[in-house]
Chains A and B, each alone.
Chain A
Amino acid sequence: MASEAQGAETGGLEFHPMDQFNIESLFGGPIAWYTPTNAALWMGLAILAVIGLMVLTTTKRSVVPSRGQSVAELAYGFVYKMVEDVSGKDGVVYFPYIMTLFMFIVCANFLGLIPMSFTTTSHFAVTVVLAMAVFLTVTVLGFVKNGTKFLGLFWVSSAPLALRPILAIIEVISYFVRPVSHSIRLAGNVMAGHAVIKVFAGFAAIAVVSPIAIAGIVAMYALEILVSFIQAYVFTILTCVYLKDALHPSH
């Protein structure tokens, strides 16, 4: 990239840890809402990854599964059990939606670990849309399923009466903070890890510290593999928890 070339020319240490997050048009030109960008490309690759993982591996429908089919079944069972355990039996209806979120996040996170790739989940635009989709769906669902009883979520009936209004304010604030924390947690974790790897990579230009820098990259990469899965898991399980609140608002 242009800025990296400039860094090489001047010979000094140039850190551009955030350049990897730049949105660029694939074919040049300005970025309009419909322009195919690197974000669009890597989202498309995430779709292909989902197809490869969940569809192509299960074409044989074998009773004794192959390795690939085991992975697909494992993913299915993992999310299904999560929805069932956290949201309850009546939450299972929403399993395909939650599975969609999980599969997209986990595929995008892991694709983002490929060197030179673009991590779509590192962008707030993506995670905010995901989190707001969950937040709005859950809120609407809560009112549709429970009517005004959904407001009981904010009225802690087990607390002393005098404390309840204060708790209600806290509950309301925490409720509206949910989509913020939900989205920033995911994008923040992914972005920070990738940026730190890039910073280590910048230090690798100095011969003396380059072994340490490369060791640091390896360690961060291992951590990022963990983070990729855990953040997808956390996002999904929080979605299940919010769904449970919508279905069963009583404390």
Chain B
Amino acid sequence: MATDTQSAAEASGPGMPQLDFSTWGNQIFWLVITLVVIYLILSRVALPRIASVLAERQGTITNDIAAAEDLKAKAQEAEAAYDKALIDARAEAGRIVAETKAGIQADLDKAIATADTKIAAKAAEGEKVIAEIRAGALDNVKVVAKDTAKEIVAAMGGKADAKSITAAVTARMKG
């Protein structure tokens, strides 16, 4: 067997099985079958499937990017709305503060005015009372002075009528 193959190889030249044309028909036959089968597998099953997967992925990516852009726009809108709301709220707060301040000020002014009038009334009343008391005190002084003067005059042994004593006391008190 060994010598057979060797001699066969020697007979067919430098011993390249590639150049043994008796096997070409066999190889070509099987090669054509193989290529047809691979072609059918690829063109009927594998390639359409992979193409659809790639197309689907491309679609998904495109959709996702569009959705992401939408969401980004929405987020920016929300941010703008938030900023606006913040500014509005600040303005509102300022307004409320000013209003409250003004209200308090008005109340305060009113209260102060009321207190002032009350104080004034009380002061006037007090002054009146003081005046009355002062007047009362003057009268009392007059009475006391007259009585005293009468007693002194009596003690001195003199006799004086009430009229002259009153006139004298009044003149002295003015003096």
Contacts and interface: CB of A to CB of B under 8 A. Distances in A.
Interface residues of A, number: 53
A37 B52 CA distance: 38
Contacts of A58: 46, 49-50, 53
A129 B28 CA distance: 7
B26 A54 contact: no
B26 A32 contact: yes
Contact of B41 (A5, A33, A54): A54
Given A18-B16, A76-B54, A129 B42 contact: no
A72 B6 CA distance: 44
Contacts of A96: 39, 42-43, 47
Nearest to B52: A61
B30 interface: yes
Contacts of A72: 46, 50
B38 A73 contact: no
Contacts of B53: 58, 61-63, 65, 69, 73
Nearest to B16: A18
Contact of A37 (B30, B38, B45, B60): B30
B156 interface: no
Contacts of A55: 41, 45-46, 49
B46 A104 contact: no
B23 A23 contact: yes
B72 to A, nearest CB: 23
A99 interface: yes
Contacts of A243: none
Nearest to B49: A58
Given A3-B6, A51-B41, A61-B53, A23 B20 contact: yes
Interface in B89-106: none
A103 B42 contact: yes
A44 interface: yes
B56 A63 contact: yes
Interface in B1-21: 1-2, 5-6, 9, 15-20
Interface string A46-67: 1100110011001001110100
A18 B5 CA distance: 12
A43 B31 contact: yes
B49 to A, nearest CB: 5
B45 to A, nearest CB: 5
Given A58-B50, A61-B53, A123 B18 contact: yes
A31 B26 contact: yes
Nearest to A37: B26
A39 B18 contact: no
A43 B26 contact: no
Given A23-B20, A124-B18, A125-B18, A33 B25 contact: yes
B84 interface: no
Given A54-B50, A99-B47, A124-B19, A3 B2 contact: yes
Given A21-B17, A77-B54, A95-B47, 13 more contacts: A21-B18, A23-B26, A40-B30, A47-B38, A55-B45, A61-B56, A99-B42, A100-B42, A101-B35, A104-B38, A123-B18, A125-B23, A129-B31
Interface of B: 1-2, 5-6, 9, 15-20, 22-35, 37-39, 41-43, 45-47, 49-54, 56-57, 60
22 contacts: A2-B1, A2-B5, A34-B29, A37-B26, A40-B26, A44-B34, A46-B38, A47-B41, A50-B41, A54-B47, A54-B50, A61-B49, A63-B56, A73-B50, A96-B47, A99-B42, A99-B47, A100-B39, A120-B27, A123-B17, A129-B28, A187-B18
Interface of A: 2-3, 5-6, 18, 21-23, 31-35, 37, 39-40, 43-44, 46-47, 50-51, 54-55, 58, 61-63, 65, 69, 72-73, 76-77, 95-97, 99-101, 103-104, 120, 122-126, 129-130, 133, 187, 191
